[in-house]
């Protein structure tokens, strides 16, 4: 078996499985071995299910021997962010308040994964309740960036990005509320994609902000993300926000759609203080599209500057509501210092939640409180609609938008933990997409002089993920940045 099996793409592994060059058991064993060899440095995983994964791999090999494979991902391991529930497994959201919570059911995304033959393999670290941009707010551990172990992997899906970048798994699932898939994908040099809101069921996704949250894929290449999205998307009656119309087959569309396209460059995403190396790399990517026949058009998204305040009103308001269920009485951490019911509630939440989660609960409770609802939350929702209209107007001119994913490369541990506003600005280029509900993807487009990955964000039109993947794939195939790997 090739030494670099763990760095092959799911597309390559699919062919090796079809040709019987490798078995699913060998593939899972490779992931286990790689994780054991590297995770003491990366610290991506909270739990692994080695025995179960090998049993599922054996079942996949038996199906393949009988000509009954379930889909293109049959036999391929996928790591799961710690807020997507799996029956019989801990689902802790990297929080003390849920440290002993075992889920009694599978999320719909997990059901769909299993039905496709993919193998859920291990649960990975994240910012507590998905609140963070660095995976430093986890109660259990800080995940490191495989490109530089002294730096953060991004967040909140830092574990999901780091485990793919480190070769510990082929694919992973994360969630994106304000950039939590795309930003860590950019910082770890992998592909990360946020689908149109409603195309992937949120049933079994432990909620942060329900009108913004969306499950999505991480992978090494664009085609792999398309395959994984195809496997998990689709209408779900268990999710009232699930989209019931037709959803395109993204993997099938990639070779069919060749372009050239009209691509927009929002001037608001290239401010004067943008990191110069990121500016250079993204502008080079734009030039690459132009050289291959694409028409490049400057567009305006005039309400971009309002994204951060609007997001941190809406997201915290929804978080304060969603997190009120963690009361120390039912299935969460219960304080041993409590003397009565009210004491249980206050002390359990005080002990169980980390500082960033408490900060957002307080902000959300304030903006929803009597006398402030109209001034903050209602006004934020109105501005959210203006942000959505900005995108709709831009898409009357172009097929997709090209922007940086993150304003800076990965920063060192501790650099921003004492300054929440600076941390929040890490997502300044990704938040608007969640507010609008549109799809977007980040893929590698270069390295800094310090050998840190840079991400290009491609923002697509709602329910046109097939076009989005084709546009991203065309750049990927014209460049080798996605083939670069960290040295661990």
The residues near 46 (Cβ < 8 Å, ≥ 6 apart) are: 82, 90, 92, 94, 123, 124, 125, 140, 141, 159
Q: What is the pLDDT of residue 469?
A: 98
Catalytic residue check, 180: yes
pTM over 0.85: yes
- pLDDT-derived band at 419, boundaries 50, 70, 90: confident
Per annotation, catalytic residue among 116, 180, 442, 474: 180
What is the C-alpha to C-alpha distance for residues 477 and 482, in angstroms, rounded to an integer?
Answer: 9
* % the chain with pLDDT above 90: 92
- Taking the CB of residue 235, how many other CB atoms lie within 10 A of it? 15
pLDDT tens-digit profile of 431-472? Answer: 999 999 999 999 999 999 999 999 999 999 999 999 999 999
Catalytic residue check, 464: no
Task: Report the first-to-last Cα separation within the chain, whole angstroms.
Answer: 20
What is the C-alpha to C-alpha distance for residues 442 and 288, in angstroms, rounded to an integer?
Answer: 16
What is the C-alpha to C-alpha distance for residues 363 and 359, in angstroms, rounded to an integer?
Answer: 6
Per annotation, catalytic residue among 8, 23, 81, 320: 81
CA distances from 209 to 317, 438, 483 (A): 8, 16, 34
Q: What is the DSSP string of 285-331?
A: HHHHHHHTTPEEEEE--TTGGGHHHHHHHHHHHHHHHHGGG--SSSS
Domains of the chain by residue range:
5-263+401-483, 305-381
pLDDT tens-digit profile of 233-276? Answer: 999 999 999 999 999 999 999 999 988 999 999 999 999 999 99
What is the C-alpha to C-alpha distance for residues 308 and 230, in angstroms, rounded to an integer?
Answer: 31
CATH second-level architecture of 5-263+401-483?
Alpha-Beta Complex (3.90)
| Residue indicated by tokens 């694409």 | 294
Residue 425 has pLDDT above 90, yes or no: no
Q: What is the pLDDT of residue 341?
A: 85
Per annotation, catalytic residue among 30, 60, 138, 156: 156
């Amino acid at each position: 078996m090739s030494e670099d099996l763990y760095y092959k793409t799911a597309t390559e592994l699919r062919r090796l499985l079809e040709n019987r060059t490798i078995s699913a058991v060998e593939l899972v064993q490779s992931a286990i071995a790689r994780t054991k060899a590297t995770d003491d440095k990366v610290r991506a995983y909270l739990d692994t299910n080695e025995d179960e994964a090998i049993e599922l791999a054996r079942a996949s090999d038996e199906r393949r021997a009988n000509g009954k494979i379930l889909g293109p991902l049959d036999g391929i391991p996928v790591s799961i962010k710690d807020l997507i529930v799996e029956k019989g497994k801990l689902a802790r959201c990297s929080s003390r308040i849920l440290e002993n919570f075992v889920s009694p059911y599978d999320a719909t995304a997990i059901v769909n994964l299993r039905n496709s033959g993919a193998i859920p393999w291990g649960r990975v670290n994240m910012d507590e309740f998905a609140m963070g941009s660095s995976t430093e707010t986890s109660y259990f551990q800080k995940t490191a960036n495989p490109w530089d172990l002294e730096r953060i992997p991004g967040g909140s899906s830092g574990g999901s990005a780091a485990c793919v970048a480190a070769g510990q798994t082929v694919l992973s699932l994360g969630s994106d509320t304000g950039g939590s898939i795309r930003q860590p994908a950019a910082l770890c040099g992998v592909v990360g994609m946020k689908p149109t809101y409603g195309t992937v069921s949120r049933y079994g996704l432990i909620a942060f902000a329900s009108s913004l949250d969306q499950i999505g894929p991480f992978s090494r290449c664009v085609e792999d993300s398309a395959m994984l999205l195809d496997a998990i998307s689709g209408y779900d009656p268990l999710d009232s926000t699930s989209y019931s119309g037709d959803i395109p087959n993204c993997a099938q569309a990639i070779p069919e759609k060749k372009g050239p396209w009209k691509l927009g460059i929002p001037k608001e995403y290239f401010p004067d203080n943008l990191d110069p190396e990121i500016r250079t790399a993204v502008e080079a990517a734009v030039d690459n599209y132009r050289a291959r026949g694409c028409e490049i058009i400057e567009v305006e998204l005039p309400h971009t500057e309002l994204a951060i305040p609007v997001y941190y009103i809406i997201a915290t308001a929804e978080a304060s509501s969603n997190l009120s269920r963690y009361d120390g009485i039912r299935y969460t951490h219960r304080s041993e210092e409590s003397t009565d019911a009210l004491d249980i509630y206050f002390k359990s939440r005080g002990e169980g939640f980390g500082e960033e989660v408490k900060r957002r609960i307080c902000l959300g409770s304030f903006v929803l409180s009597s006398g402030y609802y109209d001034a903050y939350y209602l006004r934020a929702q109105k501005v959210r609609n203006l942000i959505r209209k900005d995108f709709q107007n831009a898409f009357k001119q172009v097929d997709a938008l090209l922007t940086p994913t993150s304003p800076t490369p990965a920063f060192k541990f501790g650099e921003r933990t004492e300054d929440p506003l600076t941390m929040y600005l890490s997502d300044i280029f990704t938040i608007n997409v969640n507010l609008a509900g549109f799809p977007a993807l980040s893929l590698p487009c270069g390295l800094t002089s310090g050998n840190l990955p840079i991400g290009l964000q491609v923002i697509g039109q709602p329910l046109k993920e097939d076009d989005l993947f084709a546009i991203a794939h065309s750049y990927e195939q014209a460049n080798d940045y996605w083939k670069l790997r960290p040295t661990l």
